Structure 1
Amino acid sequence: MELADLEDAARRITGHVRRTPVQVVDAGDPWLPAGGVLKLELLQHTGTFKPRGAFNRILSARERGELDPRVGVVVASGGNAGLANAYAAAALGVPATVFVPTIASPTKLRRLHEYGAVVVQAGTEYAEAHAAALERVAETGAVHCHAYDQPEVCAGAGTLALELREQLAGLGREVDTVLVAVGGGGLMAGVATAFEGDARVVGVEPESAPTLHEAQAAGEPVDVAVSGVAADSLGARRLGSIAWEVAVRCAVHGVLVDDDAIVEARRAVWERYRVVLEAGAAVPVAALLSGRYRPDRGERLAVVLCGANTDPSDLVAAAGVPS
């Protein structure tokens, strides 16, 4: 995947996705030094970055004549890719069937039905739902929309980083390091491609789902056990092949955080900024708050906050605000 693929994706999905804002962090904030910025991609349609890749995948398939409007698309997802593809399919007038593991959150399941998707629960992990989805694709001829390991999906995800670059330039700011969550790695691949040669990318993941960490240790993607508070969104069992190629090429630095740090980061972002994050989206902040990633003095940071599909009631209780 190259920068040109991201630029093509940006042109293709214009008008279908939101341009999400950036928030400049207050100068002197101890957890994001040097006046860094937050990319608020949680404000995207469906509450995550995923519609960027979903629209790029479906529109590309339609351009190539591969999309049968009678059977539409099939996707396996812990929830967010399913939401994105259901939303994109509805917007483009085609049906969507979403295979989800039984750990998918009730919030995400409810919204899948609201978008008009046919929802099939299969297995306890993403990998099992994915296998069932492939069977449905073979039976029906539907377009398969992978949650994270297709070129169009990764390139679409990377369009948020093209936006971020433009927004930083408009603010007269530069960035040395971009922190981003890693599950299957599609978002990381897109962000690293966008910033290749200009900024370091740090991929942060839970200790309980260490796909990037284990791939870097083994020299190739390998299966990992998946559990923990972020498993519904960062629940891939193996890093994607595109993500691995980009991680090697761009020297992506991997960082692990534990569940306690993720929970605390999610609460901290709510208390300081009144921004509601799902657990998977809080992992880059967790790396900073826990000290798992320690910026150098003067290092200019950008943090991608990529999703908000969660029940916020525990955040409200934690902050002492009446619900």
Structure 2
Amino acid sequence: MTHPAPPAAPTREEIAAAAARIAGRVRRTPVIEWSVPVGGREVPVTVKLELLQHTGSFKPRGAFHRVLTAPERPSLVVAASGGNHGLAVAHAARALGVEAEVFVPESAPAVKVAGIRARGARVTLVGASYAEAAAASAERASSPGALAVHAYDDPAVLAGQGTVALELSEQAPDLDTVLVATGGGGLVGGIAAWYGPGTRVVGVETHGAPTLHAALAAGRPVDVEVGGLAADSLGARRIGEHGFASAVAAGVRAVLVSEEAVRAARRLLWQELRVTAEPGGAVALAALLDGAHVPGDGERVGVVVCGGNADPHDLAEPR
């Protein structure tokens, strides 16, 4: 009887191979140098604008890599998503000439559901949570010729998301700390796998979606209650096994931020950079504004702004 391999972080070699495999299908997103007000002082940070990726988030990296590494070309790709992963899977499927079906909870933002449909995928609304959508998608993915593209808990997806860090390490090679939002663990796991323990990676979560924080406290992935401002993009009920293994191996620390700090981060990104981040995309920056991570003197900090699929009406400045 064979047993599945234990969860493990992708290697740097696997992430580099993923970057070569998806080259030309994803954007090399830019970085910008910026000074952020933290505790009465200006802290220089390097901001990775991953929200400028195709479909408005980092997700196409993992989606393309999962499909391109499938043993056989699928006739259908199936995914469950709170929104951003579904957009990415629909985009990748259309680019590769494959049909797609995406299961989303009924609470998914309308702008994301419309975007998934606009990219040619079938959308099935199921239940009130990502977990319910995931259960329905698993049944559909058992159909002949179908390929499940998990939002985060898959080695190929992790390796694809790790290409964010590969790029950032080339664009800003001397970072001491990288702040990254954490939901299901695909992005933080991929970034941690690339950097390893040599560069501090901090997983940032809201109090309403503390998957990594709870897992580190328990010593294993555990279910958490999910809700609040960033639930559509950080709304996994538990961190994935692969992302957690990667985070632990790299010594990732988890910090929690308030929703008010997330709102402040969104406003600051808009006011200073004219960047329209969604709440989940601004969570990493919120760690600086909230004091959840206080940089030391001379510490070189990178911030991944990972998503921009939000209605910007609440960012409008008063006339």
TM bracket, shorter-chain basis: over 0.9
Q: Does the aligned pair in 2 maintain the 1:33–1:301 contact within 8 Å?
A: no
Residues 1:81 and 2:85 aligned together: yes
Task: Give the CA RMSD over aligned residues.
Answer: 1.2
Residues 1:12 and 2:10 aligned together: no
Pairing 1:145-184 to 2, within 5 Å after superposition: 145-169=149-173, 174-184=174-184
Residues 1:320 and 2:308 aligned together: no
Is the partner of 2:297 in helix, strand or coil?
A: coil
Which of 33, 36, 49 is the equivalent residue of 1:24? 33
Pairing 1:17-56 to 2, within 5 Å after superposition: 17-26=26-35, 29-31=36-38, 33-56=42-65
Residue 118 (structure 2) aligns with: 114
**Counterpart Cα distance in 2 of 1:51 and 1:33:** 34
How far the C-alpha of 1:162 sits from its partner, in A, is 0.4
**Counterpart Cα distance in 2 of 1:68 and 1:281:** 31
Flag as ranges the 4+ runs of structure 1 deviating above 4 A: none
**Counterpart Cα distance in 2 of 1:204 and 1:122:** 28
Task: Name the amino acid aligned to 1:107.
Answer: V
Residue 220 (structure 1) aligns with: 220
**Counterpart Cα distance in 2 of 1:139 and 1:150:** 19
Once the two structures are overlaid, the 10-residue window that deviates more, 189-198 or 97-106, is 189-198
Residue 210 (structure 1) aligns with: 210
Q: Does the aligned pair in 1 maintain the 2:55–2:88 contact within 8 Å?
A: yes
Pairing 1:252-263 to 2, within 5 Å after superposition: 252-263=252-263
| Alignment deviations for residues 288-320 of structure 1 (CA, whole Å, 9 cap, x no partner) | 10111111111110000000000001101xx22
Task: Name the amino acid aligned to 1:217.
Answer: A
Q: Does the aligned pair in 2 maintain the 1:77–1:126 contact within 8 Å?
A: yes
| Alignment deviations for residues 232-290 of structure 1 (CA, whole Å, 9 cap, x no partner) | 00000000001111111111010001212211211111111111000001111111101
**Counterpart Cα distance in 1 of 2:29 and 2:225:** 33
**Counterpart Cα distance in 1 of 2:268 and 2:43:** 19
Question: How high is the TM-score relative to the length of structure 2?
Answer: 0.94
**Counterpart Cα distance in 1 of 2:144 and 2:309:** 30
Residues 1:234 and 2:234 aligned together: yes
Task: Name the amino acid aligned to 2:105.
Answer: P
Q: Aligned residue pairs: how many?
A: 308
Greater strand proportion: 2
Is the partner of 2:234 in helix, strand or coil?
A: coil
Q: Does the aligned pair in 1 maintain the 2:106–2:127 contact within 8 Å?
A: yes
Q: Does the aligned pair in 2 maintain the 1:33–1:300 contact within 8 Å?
A: no
Unpaired segments ≥5 residues, structure 2: 1-9
**Counterpart Cα distance in 1 of 2:14 and 2:161:** 11
Pairing 1:290-309 to 2, within 5 Å after superposition: 290-309=290-309
Q: Does the aligned pair in 2 maintain the 1:255–1:292 contact within 8 Å?
A: yes
Question: How high is the TM-score relative to the length of structure 1?
Answer: 0.93
Task: Name the amino acid aligned to 1:259.
Answer: E
| Alignment deviations for residues 45-97 of structure 1 (CA, whole Å, 9 cap, x no partner) | 00000000000001111xx22x333xx10000000000000000000000000
**Counterpart Cα distance in 2 of 1:239 and 1:175:** 26
| Alignment deviations for residues 180-237 of structure 1 (CA, whole Å, 9 cap, x no partner) | 0000010001111111143100000110011001101111000011100100000000
